[in-house]
A = this chain, B = another copy of it.
Amino acid sequence: MTVPRRRGRPGYDLESLLAVAVEVFNERGYDGTSMEDLSRRLGIAKSAIYHHVASKEELLRLSLDRALDALFAVAGRARALRVPAIERLEYVVRGSVEVLQNQLPHVTLLLRVRGNTDVERAALERRRRFDRYVAELVRQAEKDGEIRPDLSPAVTARLLFGLVNSLVEWYRPGQDGSAASLPDLVCRFAFDGLRIRRD
């Protein structure tokens, strides 16, 4: 017995529709993308898109939540660890690089959000909460004497996540080329620096 296949235009489930939508958002910018554009790229009528989501903004929310939920899951696991702050911080940095690798299109979209809509403002607020958690860990690690005190915790947190977020500019899946994994490389760079020490 064979399952009847849909004829004509390809069918999409929410997941594959979202993937294409986010690709278009990242190419043209969210503001610059219309439902018309999405319908054209998907090769389906707008009504077929509305079968899955109520609006363009819902697609945006779904995508940003993918990225943010994954980051908060990392933070949640870090919080539960019974280890010093510096190790929790390393865990969060390593985990964030993994999220970026696994959810690259969604994280890319998240990093471009400028706060023009309610959905974007809500996402920015969640991002700030995540950043505050990172800054808290940096502060605690500095108190513990594990992290150099000549950088303020706020600046350190920004440099750290500036480094992590910069990966969206060049990282592409499957082009690693390096023996060690990217999360490890980023942690070594950030925590131990480039210079070889001879003490």
A residues bordering B, Cβ < 8 Å? 29, 32, 86, 145-148, 150-152, 154-156, 158-163, 165-167, 169-170, 177-178, 180, 185-186, 188-197, 199
Contact assessment for B188 and A150 in the assembled complex, using a CB-CB cutoff below 8 Å? yes
Q: A163-B166, A193-B191 are in contact. Are A185 and B151 (CB under 8 A)?
A: yes
Contact assessment for A194 and B191 in the assembled complex, using a CB-CB cutoff below 8 Å? yes
Q: How far is the CA of A170 from the CA of B147 in the complex (A)?
A: 22
12 examples of A-B residue contacts, CB within 8 angstroms: A147-B196, A148-B196, A150-B185, A152-B177, A156-B194, A159-B163, A163-B166, A165-B166, A189-B193, A191-B194, A192-B193, A199-B199
Set B145, B148, B166: member contacting A192, Cβ < 8 A: B148
Complex A-B, nearest 3 residue pairs according to Cβ-Cβ distance, in ascending order = A162-B166, A193-B193, A192-B193
Q: How far is the CA of A79 from the CA of B186 in the complex (A)?
A: 28
Q: A162-B167, A170-B158 are in contact. Are A189 and B146 (CB under 8 A)?
A: no
Set B160, B195, B199: member contacting A147, Cβ < 8 A: B195
How far is the CB of A140 from the nearest CB of chain B, in Å? 13
Contact assessment for B155 and A162 in the assembled complex, using a CB-CB cutoff below 8 Å? no
How far is the CB of A64 from the nearest CB of chain B, in Å? 17
Q: Which of A162, A165, A167, A190 has the most CB of B within 10 A?
A: A162
Contact assessment for A178 and B151 in the assembled complex, using a CB-CB cutoff below 8 Å? yes
Write out the residue numbers on chain B whose beta carbons fall within 8 Å of the beta carbon of A178. Answer: 151-152, 155
Contact assessment for B195 and A86 in the assembled complex, using a CB-CB cutoff below 8 Å? yes
Q: A180-B150, A192-B195 are in contact. Are A170 and B160 (CB under 8 A)?
A: no
Write out the residue numbers on chain B whose beta carbons fall within 8 Å of the beta carbon of A162. Answer: 162-163, 166-167, 169-170
